[in-house]
Structure formats: structure tokens, C-alpha cells
Amino acid sequence: MKKLVEYDFPRDLKDMSIKELDLLSYEIRDFLISNISKTGGHLASNLGVVELSIALHKVFDTPKDKLVWDVGHQSYVHKILTGRAGGFENLRKFGGMSGFPKVKESEYDTFDTGHSSTSISIAAGMAAARDLRGEHYNIAAIIGDGALTGGLAYEALNNAGASKTKMIVILNDNGMSIAPNTGGVSRYLEKLRSSQKYTEFKQKLKKNVAEIPGIGKGVVSGMQHMRDSLKYAVLDGIMFEELGFKYFGPIDGHSVEDLIRTLELVKEVDEPVFLHVITQKGKGYRSAEETPSKYHGTGPFDPTTGKQHSSGTELSYSKVFGRKLSQLARTNSEIVAVGAAMLEGTGLKEFKQKYPKRTFDVGIAEAHAVTFAAGMAAGGFRPVVAIYSTFLQRAYDQIMEDVCLQKLPVVFAIDRAGIVGADGETHHGMFDLSYLGHMPNMTILAPADSNELESMLEYALTLEGPCAIRYPRGEAAQLDFYQPIAGSLVQKEGRDLEIWAVGNMVSTGLEVCKLLEKRGLDAGLVNARFVRPLDQPAIEASAGRTGLIVTLEDNVVTGGFGENLAAAIMESPVKVLNFGWPDCFIEHGSCGQLFEKYGLDPESIAERIWNYIEKQA
Ligand SMILES: Cc1ncc(C[n+]2csc(CCOP(=O)(O)OP(=O)(O)O)c2C)c(N)n1
Ligand SMILES: CC(=O)[C@@H](O)[C@H](O)COP(=O)(O)O
Ligand SMILES: [Mg+2]
């Protein structure tokens, strides 16, 4: 039997029979399990779209026809079917293949994605561009039921449905976001899924397709006939029909045959089509079927037992945050937690178990989460909104207008701040200090270790306005900082220079001081703690003690802590050197590799400081 790397995909799919395609789906699942068990990656979502991806590449003429994968974490099978099986050895590794669609990686990847709920907008825009140019090809957006909880998807449905342009929205409905999906739309989809009509549709589909005389006009009239005889399906999908889409389904997303038949039909429709496909997250791998959330994004695991190698016992910042919040909520009944489809990732699972009524998971809806929290704060509560740094970018305006403008006491627990590693450029949380740093009334804190995170959370909940606490992905440092949160913390004064480090960069700063000491330099270290407001008196005092201030932050330099500090003492003769991420998008790789490549590891920083001082001498 041929290996997946030996096929000429997608061309080879065109000659394969349904039976061969069924066999191929087994082969692809084996390949995914075997490879992801070594590299880690998004397993469960990909196992769920094996047949759908095969059918799409069988029916559509890619890359002329365009496929847009929402989020893109489920694009692995698409990658296999477009000649990239060989890339899986280095999936998400430094210099290796990305875990998301990348235009620069393949002509079959139509758009760089990573953040949810964008696919329908992208497809609608592509369709408008195609129509304006008078071109003819198919465009399909493949969106999950989780991604369909995001507001942008509805703005796009509203616009695309009314436009009457030819495009296909395929809903990959598995009832799951990372965790079980939530909300009213999810309940509506559940109703469609569990309806008897699902099986009836399958029977009618077979019967009607058999009656279709050929292609072109025949297909269209056959399809019209089918739709007429499937009035119930139209009724069931009424919400999408009312928005201007022709609704088809729901169909079995694990039947290659049904998928191919239906796609052949809907691709002939000259209007917006909404095709509802039912799949199972984790399909074909027992551990992932039983606990899809655990295999949504997984590290390496034993493929035979399903046992994940990383024990998950490390004390992450997320866990420290969740544990402390639960503890504070015991005595403060005004504390409520707000999340956006990432309760587990942000450490709120324990809080939800203890305080289900005080936990609000709004779905993949970060902008709504923030304004919802603003509403709760206006109603007298103390909302704590836990969102990853990269996803909070979505809610810039809501933080500014709905929270800061009214100085509402909302606490933002910003997880995954700084570089995150394997997810890469769409997911690094390296902009929050810049996008929050200019917001009036906002306090921004960054803990250097787990104790500081706890103290900062306690402190934030005493403030009368908004406060953001940002901390990185992964294991929490244990530096034993117990001092109360009042301003910056001078660890050590320095004669030759003083380093002002933000959050996780305090650990780096300690290393840099040691390395410089070996070269005979007396470097001091200040744990900034407050990114906003700046601790002006302490900064001025530091500038008075030394001729050089060095700032370290796990954030883009542009508009970050260091630039603000430099501006705050621009009249002083002290020189300021800023270290942070350069003004560009940073690729995927391990955090260690990225810090090294961009000169942000202790050795590179010490070297640059040394060279700078040498040059000045
Ligand atoms: C704006 C944004 N918020 C959160 C996420 C994190 N996230 C990635 S995939 C996912 C679940 C998506 O569910 P669904 O679209 O149904 O796809 P499935 O994994 O079920 O195939 C979430 C919440 C994201 N990528 N983008
Ligand atoms: C695809 C996506 O956006 C999430 O699944 C993300 O990969 C989760 O990252 P963490 O592993 O940091 O929770
Ligand atoms: Mg889903």
C-alpha cells in the first residue's frame, strides 16, 4: 500500500472510488494519531473532519476553488491532501510546518487564520472580489459550531445572505467547542442534530440523486426537486434560510459518499448555501472520542494507551489564578468569573465547579464577554474576565469604551501573555501592553512569580477602576515575592546600570545581572510590577543612581513598557535600552528557541548590554 507522502494529492483523489476513499480515511486517521502522538498538535478536531476534507478535495477543483478553514486548527487533513504529509514530522516545530493555514506555505491555503469566526467574512469578501472580476469558481467557508458562537460570523451571514452571491458555508457541527459548546445557537443546532430528519435526509438524498439526469441544468432541477421534497429540512434550517441562505442538511459528516453527493449538488447553486454537516470530534480514536477536550490540543502521548506524556501537574499561572480566584470568591460574593470558551485553558474550571452560578462562559465571543462584564460591574458585581492575550485583541474597543471610559471595576486576567510557542504568529500574546498601555483609567500589572500573581489579583479587586493582570503560558516561576503590591520593587540597586524587568522577564533579569557581574559590571534589578501607571518616582530615582536603564518585556517593544518608561524620563540624561519583541510577527517554535533567535535570552541580552557599554566608553 502506498504511503500518504507518495500520493500526488489532491489529483489522485479524483480517480479514487468511494471504497478507496473510505480506506484512505482510515489511513489518514492512523497517520494523524501516529504523528501527533510524537509532535503534539490539534488532534480531535482533525480526526473529525477526515471524510469532509476528502470529499471537499474530491469535489472541488482546488486551488482554483477556494477553501477557507475557520480557526484553521482542523486543517491538518487538508494539508495531507495538498501534498504536505511530509511536513508532519516537524509540525509546529521551529522552522517546521505550521499548525494553521499559511498562504506562504501552500497555494491551497487561501488565508492565514488562527482566530475564530472569520471564515464567512473572508469567503464573502473573496466572493465579492471574484464577482467584480467576472470570474467563476467556488468558494467554501468551513466553520465549526464553536466558531459559530462568535459575533463576526453573524455579521458575515447577515451580509453574505443578503448579497445573494454564490458561496457555500459548511457548518462542521460536532457539538463541541474546546469544551461542550454553549449558548442558544448551540441549543438550536442540537435540535437539528437530534431530529429524526437527519436520517430521513440521508434516504431522500440517495433517492433524489438517483433521479438526477446529469450535470448542469439536470443537477439544478434535481436539486430543486430534492429541496421541494425536503420541506422539513428547509423549515429546520429556517434561521439560515431567513438570512438568505439555501439550507441543506443535516448530513452525516463521516459518510464520504453522502458528502460527495451533497457537495456535487450544492456547488451548482448560484446563491449562498448553508450546508449542515454532523461530525464527531475525535472520531476513530477512542481516547479522543471519549474526552475530546483533552485531545483538542495535545502534547505528545502514547498512541496505544492514549496516555499524555505531560502530566499536567505543573503549577501553571492559569492554575494559580483559578485557585486564588476561587479562594477570594469564598469571602467576596460580588466576584464573578467571565470566560470566552476557554474556561479550562484560563484555569477557571475549579471556579466553575465551586460557583456555577457565578461563572459565565459566553462562547467564542471576547468582545461580548468584555461588555457583558462591564454590564455586571455596572450592576454592582466584581467581574474577572479571563481571556488569552491574543484573543483579547478582539475586544479593544469594548475595553476602551465600555470599561475604561466609565472607570468600571472589571479585572482582566490576561493569560498566555507574551510568546506562546508552537501555535505561532496568530497566537503569541505579545501586544497587550501596547494595546492597553494608552487606555485612560487602566491599571496594568505583571507578576514575576506565582505569589505575586495571587497578591496582584487580591489588589486588583480592591481598585475602583479597571485593572489588567498579564502572565505567560506555562509553569509559574517561584521567586518568593511576598511584598505587598504598592509600586515597583527594587531587588538590587546597580552602579553601572539598572534593569527594569516586567513579569516573567524578572527571572531573565536575575540571570543577566549574574552574567554581567562575571564581566565586572554592577547591574541592579527592579521588578516593575506596574506597567501602568508607571512608578514615576522610582524610575526617576533609578535614573539618578545610574547612567543606563535597561528594560525587559515579553511584549513588542513598540508602544510597550520600555518606550513608555523612556518617554517618562526623556529630560534626564540617562540612556535607556529597550528589550522586547521586534515590530513584526513572530513565527512558531519553542519559547526557548524564539527568545534565543530574537536576542531575548539572558546571554544575548548580557552581550548586547556589554557591547553597548563598551561602545560608550
Ligand atoms: C477569537 C478566538 N477565541 C478563542 C479561540 C480558541 N479556540 C480555538 S479552537 C476553539 C474551539 C472551536 O470550536 P469549533 O469551531 O466548533 O471547532 P472544533 O474544534 O469543534 O472542530 C477555540 C475556542 C480562537 N482560536 N479564537
Ligand atoms: C486553536 C486554538 O486557538 C487553541 O486551541 C489554542 O491552540 C490553545 O492554546 P493553549 O494550548 O495555549 O491552550
Ligand atoms: Mg465544534
- Looking at the CA of residue 473, tell me the nearest atom of ligand 2: 12
CA-based nearest residue to 320, from 456, 433, 443: 456
**73 in ligand 2 pocket by Cβ < 6 Å?**
yes
How high is the pLDDT of residue 234? 47
Distance (angstroms) between ligand 2 centre and the Cα of 143 equals: 17
**Helix or strand run (H / E) with residue 415:** strand 411-415
Measuring from atom 19 of ligand 1, which residue has the nearest CA?
Answer: 45
ipTM for this prediction: 0.99
- The class that CATH gives domain 489-616 is alpha beta
pLDDT recorded at residue 483 = 85
Query: Mean pLDDT per segment of 10 residues, for the chain of length 617 residues?
Result: 94 98 98 98 98 98 98 98 98 98 98 98 98 98 98 98 97 97 92 69 59 41 54 65 94 97 96 97 98 97 94 86 98 98 97 98 98 98 98 98 98 98 98 98 98 98 98 94 90 97 98 98 98 98 96 98 98 96 98 98 98 91
73 belongs to an annotated ligand binding site: yes
Ligand sitting nearest the alpha carbon of 99: 2
Ligand nearest, relative to CA of residue 147: 1
Q: Which ligand is nearest to the CA of 346?
A: 2
* Neighbour tally for 11: CB within 10 Å: 10
CA neighbor of 374 nearest in space, from 397, 352, 391: 397
Q: What is the CATH number of domain 317-470?
A: 3.40.50.970
Q: What's the topology of domain 4-195+235-290?
A: Rossmann fold (3.40.50)
> What confidence tens digit (pLDDT) does each residue in 569-611 have?
999 999 999 999 999 999 999 999 999 999 999 999 999 999 9
Q: Identify the pLDDT of residue 99.
A: 98
Q: Which atom of ligand 2 is nearest to the CA of 178?
A: 5
Annotation marks residue 281 as catalytic: yes
Q: 311 CB contacts (<8 Å, ≥6 apart)?
A: none
Pocket test for ligand 2, best of 423, 425, 590 (most atoms within 8 A of CB): 423
Domain residue ranges in the chain: 4-195+235-290, 317-470, 489-616
6 is catalytic: no
Residue identified by cell 442534530 is 193
What lines the ligand 1 site, CB under 6 Å?
Answer: 45, 48, 71, 73-74, 115-116, 144-147, 174, 176-178, 281, 296, 341-342, 364, 366, 391, 394
pLDDT at 214: 33
d(CA 538, CA 558): 23
Spot the catalytic one: 257, 366, 498, 563.
Answer: 366
Known catalytic membership, residue 366: yes
Flag whether the pTM goes above 0.90: yes
DSSP string, 154-182: HHHHHHHHHHT-SEEEEEEE-SBSSSB--
**Are 4-195+235-290 and 489-616 in the same CATH fold?**
yes
